[in-house]
Structure 1
Amino acid sequence: MLIQSCSRKNDKFLNRKFHATATKYNVLYNGNIALQRGIEGVNNEYTENFWELLPIERMDVSEDIFLPGQTKNADFERAEEKAIKAIQVHGMNIGGKEKNPQIDEAYLLLGQARYFDQRFVPAMAAFNNILNKYPTSDKINQVKIWREKTNMRLDNNAGAIEKLKRLLEEEKEDIEGQDLADAAAALAQAYLNTKSNDSAIAQLTIAAENTKIKREKARYHFIKGQLYNQFGEKDSANVEFDAIIEMHRQVPRSFYINAHLEKSYNTDASNIDDIEFEEYLTELEENRENRPFLDKIYYRIAEYHRNKMSDSLAEVYYNKSLRKTTSDKYLKSLSYETLGNMYFDKNVYKTAGAYYDSTLTAMVKNTKPYRVIKKKRDNLDDVIYYEGIAQTNDSILKMVSLPKAEQLAIYTKFAEDQKLKEIEAKKEQEDALKRQKSQSSPITSVNNNQRSQGIGNPAGTTRDLQTLSGSKNNSTFYFYNTTTVAYGKSEFLKIWGDRKLQDNWRHSNQRADVTNTVKSDSLTDSSVEDLRFNPETYLASLPTKQTEIDSIAKERNFAYYQLGIIYKEKFKELELAKSKLEKLLSNNPEDRLILPSKYNLYRIYEELGLIRKADAIKTAIINEYPDSRYAEILLNPQSELSKDENSPEAIYTKLYQQFNDEEYASVITEAETQIKRLEGDNFVPKFEILKASAKGRLYGFEAYKEGINYIALTYVNTEEGKKAQEIIDNAFPVLAKKEFIADDTTEKFNVIFQFQNSLKEDIDGFIKILDEEVAKVKYFDLRTSKDVYDENTTFVVVHGLKSIGGAKGFAELLKTEEKDKRGRPIKPKITRPYFAISSPNYAIIQRHKNLNAYLKLE
């Protein structure tokens, strides 16, 4: 009977029953277990992002490409194998009909395994197979739902919507329970994919009402709440969040907590009882079950206090949130950015910059939010730099201006304070050492015999590591405590002496003179201590020469000017800009800063509505600087600076055109004139770059290097200064190479004709004749150019030759006599001396002006 029942070709009751039973309770049973295990794995790997609209289904779709036969998950592979085994081993296709009623479920398992393994096209084939071969299956509705879910994964959302709507209409009497919930949820996801969010809400309502799975119910309610928030319907959103809160421990804790937080954000601040609301937030904070979510709870409390203008409390809770945040990088970036904005608004830009740096580390690079913060942070570089200069130099100049007695009194008090701090620090170290000893295991004593043999441990360094690492809050782990580490180093030196980090370091011949080492260290410590606590040390560091003091004052004044411009232009902090520029003018700055400072103050006074001050400074500019461009602008406000032919923009554009025309000497002269005329203007670094480039073209690499180095040091925080530093770091190592390369390593060559500028030869006439001869050569793509070599020499160059021999041959061909129709010789047109050179070597002689060195090689 057993042998007969194994046959898949006999359409008998015993055969059908045997294969159906084996399929259901053996193969499919194990396959479904593997599928569920795989789904649990997918769920565990998925991290909910409650900051964005949640997806209906928990699954991250990877863009990795797998070859046929490869799989992402071993459990799904096993489920697929079991489904295939059921079809192949237990299928009873007799007379074109399947007699095993479990095979449709095998295909369903096959499709689901492939779906979760993100092989959507093969999954679609499995589902279509059921629809084509088993139209009367009791799983037909489930199969239709899974097929449309697969269609959505293949970006066929319109088709999925059409077929799911048809399914819900045609089978509205038969489809119910979990099938109805799944169909409605799938349709909702299709609507979300097509941005039809209002239609998705109705389907999510159906799904939430019909599903029996609490996790899914919570998800559907939460997504509905998020959608209502998008539409600004906070009351409706709160109803959805309340539905989640009422389920309490029946749903994942993350949904419960985030429902509370979302509801709290929707609460109208003007209509709440502050005490009651604070108690509500405190209860969330103190609930032990909420510990994994304290980062978000602390952030919510911080936001509450910030909205109440309690910045100090808000800062405390933002920092608490940061200390608790683990994997939620978005939350971390929000906390850092908010703290940065708070310090930015308080004009504490150095601290704000540090918080923005931390924000960037927690953000995804090359996204729009990242670029916004990056730009804001970059703008702070200049502020931090110049504020540091201004504060430091102000302090130095203030000390220098005081009588020596007052200087000595100030530094004496400072030295005494430093000494007291040192005493307190030593006392804290001793106390920490005592606590460390009381928490450590007994110290192992080491006898002299052991020490002489180099096998003992330094006294005080043997510790019970388990004890040391036991208490995180007390920082008892040895290497976490700087005091005990310092003590261990000291004990090591006493016992072993000063030893190098090398093999066999414990051998006696490696031992240094401990006495001398200790004496030397003691002398050094004593010297350091005397200097640190001696006020004369600080007095001696003050500048005394008037040139040094003037240099410090000049640097401070320029810093104030830059700060005034930055606060005005970049941050629109007009009050700050006003105070910086007014302070600058009170410091008797150099002439180059006075006029632009007064003009910028005029603009600031106008914007602040300080009409009298604006009129007064306007009159002063017109009377004291009548020939300046600022006076011209003030006298004729209708003319725009950018359209004025004397504006920096117009002059720079004209000079740049001259640079392209190779009028390098004129560019250098005019650029120097404009740099002096526009001192303090933002356009000066641009003229410096143009001047350096022109000098490089005319005088060579060393002149260019000098100019670029000057820009990088002088305009360190401008775009031009940063670009100059990039050139120094990246381009200079390449440009500095002056060794000529072999001709057989390149494929481009030139013929060079040399002209002396002092002879005033007709270069353009020569080029015209040369162009006529070059046009006759059809087998090469030749062209000519006129290149400046230096202030005395100009090259006429033929480009496009393929070998050094070919270049020389072409030049000789130009010398060949031509004859007229009667056979009479015509005088050669091109008889001028020449030399041939490869394109890379030509670039080298232009860059380093080492033509003579190249000609000697020939």
Structure 2
Amino acid sequence: MHALTTEFNTLYNGYIALDQGRQSLNENYTDNYWDVLPIERMQIFEDIVLPGQSKNENFTRAEEKAVKAIQKHSMNIDGREKNPQMDEAYLLLGKSRYFDQRFIPALEAFNYILYKYPASDKINQAKIWREKTNIRLDNDDLAIKNLKRLLSQEELKGQDLADATSMLAQAYLNTKSVDSAITQLEIASNVTKSNDERGRYRFIQGQLYNELGKKDSANMAFDKVIELNRKTPRIYMISAHIEKIKNFDYENGNRLELTELLAKLEENRENRPFLDKIYHQIGEYHLNSQSDTLAVVYYNKSLRTNSKDKLLRARNYEILGDMNFDKSIYKEAGEYYDSTLGNLALNSKPYRIIKRKRDNLEDVIYYEGIAQVNDSILRLINLPEADRLAYFESLVETLKIKAAEEEEKKKREEAAKRNTGLVTVNNQIGSPNALRGSTPNQATAFYFYNPTTVSYGKNEFVKFWGDRVLEDDWRWSDKVNSGSISNDANNNILASATEEELFDPQFYISKIPSAEKDIDSISKERNYAYYQLGLIYKEKFKEYELAKSKFQDLLKSNPEERLILPSKYNLYKIYELLGEIDEATIAKNEIISTYPDSRYATILKNPELASDRDQNSPESLYEALYKQFENQEYAEVISKSENYINVFDGDAIVPKFELLKATTLGRLYGYEAYSKAINHIATTYANTEEGMQAQKIETSVLPKLLNKDFILEDKVTSNYKIFFKFENQEMEKVYGFQKTLDTVLKNIKYYDFKSSVDVYNPNTILVVVHGLKNAKVAKTFDQLIIEEDKQKIKEPYFAIASANYQIVQIHKNLDTYLNTNNH
């Protein structure tokens, strides 16, 4: 009675729950066909599960049934189990724990079977499941040892043999023994009773042969998957076709046969769920066949299928980005790389590679945007009045056509909404029962529960306002996303126009700058963008033809004097790199004759001075200046920085001099001067590394330094300093005093004091003693000095908490501190 009840009631229901749980696991698991598939479909979660909790209720129910069978129907009499179903109960217990990813308790259940029921007909299954659990616990070597022993000692047949060899293959894969894994998968594929498993094992075999570079063997394995056809999940067959196509020999293969196969796969209605992969592979075929236009079409088709495969989407976007990059269409390339990053795992290796590519494009996209917008404005400024009017009349006609199309589209959408009941439903939003007690499935009455209305609202918002960041005061014009300069500028003008102005050409003509100052500013900004683009194309992307055109366009645009000479020198270097010797000679002679005293002329006349480590190179001068900064020669650093900024104007090193100058101003003149200088760098050199660093300082560091209030020193318990103040003294005298002070400090017992000379402002130097642990020691410093040393230190000293000394140096408010503390 106990055995029958256990088998046909408790365990029967338990195995039903286990099968339902496994089915849900398979449905929720997505294979990554870009990598070798695992033998078993099971997603491992890293989430910590508390005792009593479960990832899947079906497995909890299966475990409960197993426990119930053991607790209520076990008949352990005189040390022997009389119920022959108990080994099945423990096997179910172990399996349910295994699939619930509680591997240690699962291992205990399987080991209990091996210990308590050695004569069980399920003993081999228990051994196999124990090794599956060991593999999940990363005990691969132990699993290999035990499975090999099992296969040698027992004559396994059927599914048991398939399970043992497939798990042994997984252990070999984990230990990088690919050849051994292939051998075991061959055995498992031949003996398994499940065609699902057979298709999977054969496909993995093909992947492993590809890893070993054995394409012929891989194709044979994939052919066996294809032969199974509808006997195995269709994804295996489609993936096998795709892997075979990847192995195609484009030099010697039959292209006609391949194109027919691709067309057949594309047209087969059963393959509709897999069109994302098929379109991608057709795109790959056209790309390898030098048919770039067709390749782009199919990559975009793959993207439009809204594939759930993020890696496939990322691959499509990356290829399209690379194609645009190779054509020097950098703005579009950057947009494709942005989309690629959105489909990759954050901070993964592929993510970092694409991020580096995208960051390299940041500057070129920024300056190309400026150049494009300003070129357009300057062209409009230089157009004759009649041509300008004709241009905007044409624009107005285009706007009218678009407005008519939008109106027609809006009517169609409203009609569609009426037909689907959306208008009626939305009218109920304000009703008392619209939300009360409704579930999300019922609440299509609520605007945000309906994806159609949400999508429509988003599109309308972007059309009217442009791409806005979610933040306070988002409606202000300066909050517009800078990534699309021209479009957003147009959006701002169109958004501010009345309906009458929108179709009036004179409205747009009135927006064209006319003041000489504004036109000069636009021209200078455009010229600087050209110069930066020339440098970027030359130095970063090695696109010498593009760089040459930018420098040539710059020189034709009547640029400022500061940009002429470096542009000509860069053109000379580009001519040399392109092998245009005559042009290089002309450019060289022009620089030497027109600018004989310049650094560039000196380098051209004496090529040996062109080394980057030349003592007069910007880099060497910066290093020397930085050493002066470390020596607190602040006035000299500021003066030289200003000089070098003018001399090297337009050079990439100028922002470094600016940042050094800003830091020096802060050290010498305090917070206000530092803040102003940092703001100048953040706005003037926004897209350089130093400009970005200045922006971070402005937003994150400066607010923390703003506070001028001193800390009450009776509340400060540790870390004090004392300082001696010198007004308008020569540095030799100050250093002489420090030397004397150091000898005195060495004679003070039980304390480890150090001294430093700190510049306070152009007229004041402070000699500071560090290492005082509390206020009492600081205020009685003179009592620590031995009698024979007291005559050596006649200067008055002042005690100060370290926190207040920092405030004094930042805000240069020493006098305020001394007056407040009655020193």
TM-score (norm 1): 0.82
In structure 1, C-alpha distance between the alignment counterparts of 2:386 and 2:625, rounded to whole Å:
56
Q: Of the candidates 113, 120, 125, which is equivalent to residue 142 of structure 1?
A: 125
Partner of 2:741: 770
* Alignment of structure 1 residues 57-68 onto 2, 5 Å: 57-68=40-51
Task: Provide the identity percentage.
Answer: 56
Instruction: Give the Å deviation of 1:654.
Output: 1.4
The more displaced of 49-58 and 476-485 is 476-485
Asked if the contact 2:94/2:105 (under 8 Å) is kept, the reply is: yes
Moved more, 190-199 or 73-82: 73-82
Partner residue of 1:794 out of 757, 762, 765: 765
1:784–1:796 CA contact under 8 A, matched in 2: yes
Change (3 A) 1:781 1:84: farther
| Alpha-carbon contact 2:314-2:344 (below 8 Å) kept | yes
Distance 1:73-1:780 versus aligned 2 partners, 3 A rule: farther
1:359: which partner in 2? 340
Q: Which residue does 2:435 correspond to in 1?
A: none
- Where does residue 436 of structure 2 map in the other structure? none
Query: Among residues 642, 649, 653, which one is paired with 2:623 in the alignment?
Result: 653
Three-state SS of the structure 2 residue aligned to 1:762 is helix
C-alpha distance in 1 between matches for 2:615 and 2:708: 42
Larger radius of gyration: 1
Q: Which residue of 2 aligns with 1:433?
A: 411
CA shift in 2, pair 1:781/1:413, >3 Å? same
Change (3 A) 1:41 1:482: closer
Specify the code of the residue in structure 2 equivalent to 1:737: N
1:196 aligns with 2:177: yes
**CA contact 2:392–2:508 (8 Å) conserved in 1:** no
Q: Which residue does the alignment assign to 1:56?
A: 39
| SS of corresponding position for 2:498 | helix
Residue 806 of structure 2 is matched in structure 1 by: 843
The match for 1:818 is 787
Taking the TM superposition and a 5 Å limit, the aligned residue runs for 1:370-769 are: 370-402=351-383, 406-419=384-397, 421-422=399-400, 425-426=403-404, 429=407, 433=411, 436=414, 440=418, 528-529=498-499, 531-637=501-607, 641-746=611-716, 747-758=718-729, 762-769=733-740
Report if the CA contact (8 A) 2:399-2:503 is conserved: no
- Mapped to 1, the partners of 2:750 and 2:777 lie a distance apart of 12
Amino acid at match of 1:766: F
1:137-161 alpha-carbon deviations (Å, 9 max, x no partner): 3222222222222222222212222
1:548-591 Cα deviation digits (max 9, x unpaired): 44433332222111111101111121211121122223334333
Pair 130,484 (structure 1): closer, same or farther in 2 beyond 3 Å: closer
Distance 2:604 2:402 in 1: 62
By how many angstroms is 1:543 displaced?
A: 4.2
Residue type matched to 1:433 in 2?
K
Decide whether the 8 Å contact of 2:380 with 2:388 is kept in 1.
Answer: no
Which range moves more in the overlay, 364-373 or 244-253? 244-253
Alignment of 1:852 onto 2:823: no
Please state whether the residue corresponding to 2:674 is helix, strand or coil: helix
The letter of the residue matching 1:740 is: F
1:200-349 residue pairs with structure 2 within 5 A? 200-271=181-252, 277-349=258-330
**Structure 2 residue runs without a partner (length 5+):** 422-429, 432-440, 462-493
After superposition, the C-alpha distances for 1:166-219 in whole angstroms (9 at most, x for unaligned) are: 222233xx2111111111101110111011112211111111001011111111
How many Å apart are 1:83 and its aligned residue? 3.1
Quick one: which amino acid aligns to residue 232 of structure 2?
V
Q: Shift of the alpha carbon at 1:525? A: 11
Amino acid at match of 2:270: E
AA partner of residue 601 (structure 1): L
Preserved contact between residue 59 and residue 96 of structure 2 (Cα < 8 Å): yes
**Secondary structure of residue in 2 paired with 1:751:** strand
Counterpart CA distance in 2 for 1:62 and 1:667 is 58
In 1, Cα distance between equivalents of 2:419 and 2:601 = 82
- Return the alpha-carbon distance in structure 2 between the equivalents of residues 545 and 188 of structure 1: 78
1:221/1:240 contact within 8 Å kept: yes
2:785 pairs with 1:807: no
Q: Which amino acid aligns with 1:767?
A: Q
Which letter does structure 2 place at the counterpart of 1:414?
A: F
Q: Aligned pair in 2 of structure 1 residues 745, 74: CA closer, same or farther (>3 Å)?
A: farther
Give the whole-Å Cα distance in 2 for the aligned partners of 1:775 and 1:827: 13
Deviations 1:74-110 (A, max 9, x none): 3333333333344444434444444433333333222
Paired position in structure 2 for 1:79:
62
SS in 2 for 1:787: strand
Against the structure 1 CA distance between its residues 476 and 766, is the aligned structure 2 distance closer, same or farther, given a 3 Å change threshold?
closer
Q: Number of aligned residue pairs: give it.
A: 766
Question: Residues of 1 paired with 2:770 and 2:554: CA distance?
Answer: 57
Q: State the Cα distance separating 1:724 from its structure 2 match.
A: 0.7
* Alignment partner, residue 139 of structure 2: 156
CA–CA distance in structure 2, aligned partners of residues 476 and 113 of structure 1:
38
State the SS of the aligned residue for 2:798: strand
Q: Distance in 1 between matches of 2:294 and 2:284?
A: 10
Aligned Cα root-mean-square deviation (Å)? 3.3
8 Å CA contact 1:32, 1:79 repeated in 2: yes
Name the CA shift for 1:433/1:532 in 2 (closer, same or farther; >3 Å).
closer
CA distance in 2, matches of 1:535, 1:63: 63
Query: How far apart, in 2, do the equivalents of 1:525 and 1:265 lie?
Result: 51
Aligned partner of 2:791 in structure 1 is 828
For 1:354-411, what per-residue CA distance to the aligned partner results, in whole angstroms no more than 9, with x for missing partners? 2211211111111121112112212222112211222333333344445xxx332233
TM-score under structure 2 length normalisation: 0.86
Counterpart secondary structure, 2:780: helix
Aligned counterpart in structure 2 of residue 179 of structure 1, from 142, 146, 160: 160
Q: Distance in 1 between matches of 2:659 and 2:149?
A: 70
Per-residue CA deviations over 1:418-455 (Å, capped at 9, x if unaligned) read 14531562365258538846984899xxxxxxxxxxx9
Q: Mean alpha-carbon deviation: is it higher for 702-711 or for 627-636?
A: 627-636
Residue 26 of structure 1 corresponds to 9
Question: Within 2, Cα distance between the matches of 1:669 and 1:598?
Answer: 28
Q: Distance in 2 between matches of 1:648 and 1:483?
A: 51
**1:713 partner SS:** helix
Correspondence for 2:488: none
Task: Tell me the equivalent position of 1:169.
Answer: 152
Measured in 1, the distance between the counterparts of 2:368 and 2:409 equals 40
Partner amino acid for 1:596? P
8 Å contact kept, 1:325–1:331? no
Q: For the Cα contact (< 8 Å) 2:572–2:584, is it kept in 1?
A: yes
Query: Aligned equivalents of 1:695 and 1:420: distance in 2?
Result: 54
**C-alpha separation in 1, matches of 2:581 and 2:232:** 65
Distance 1:170 1:434, change over 3 A: closer
Q: Is the 8 A contact 1:786 1:794 kept in 2?
A: yes
For the 8 Å contact 1:436–1:476, the answer to whether it is kept is no
Instruction: Please say if residues 388 and 509 of structure 2, whose CA atoms lie closer than 8 Å, have aligned partners that are also in contact.
Output: no
2:625–2:637 CA contact under 8 A, matched in 1: yes
Decide whether the 8 Å contact of 2:595 with 2:601 is kept in 1.
yes
Change (3 A) 1:32 1:536: closer
Deviation at 1:796, TM superposition (A): 1.1
> Which segment drifts farther, 794-803 or 419-428?
419-428
Q: Which 10-residue stretch deviates more, 585-594 or 425-434?
A: 425-434
Q: Which amino acid aligns with 1:843?
A: Q
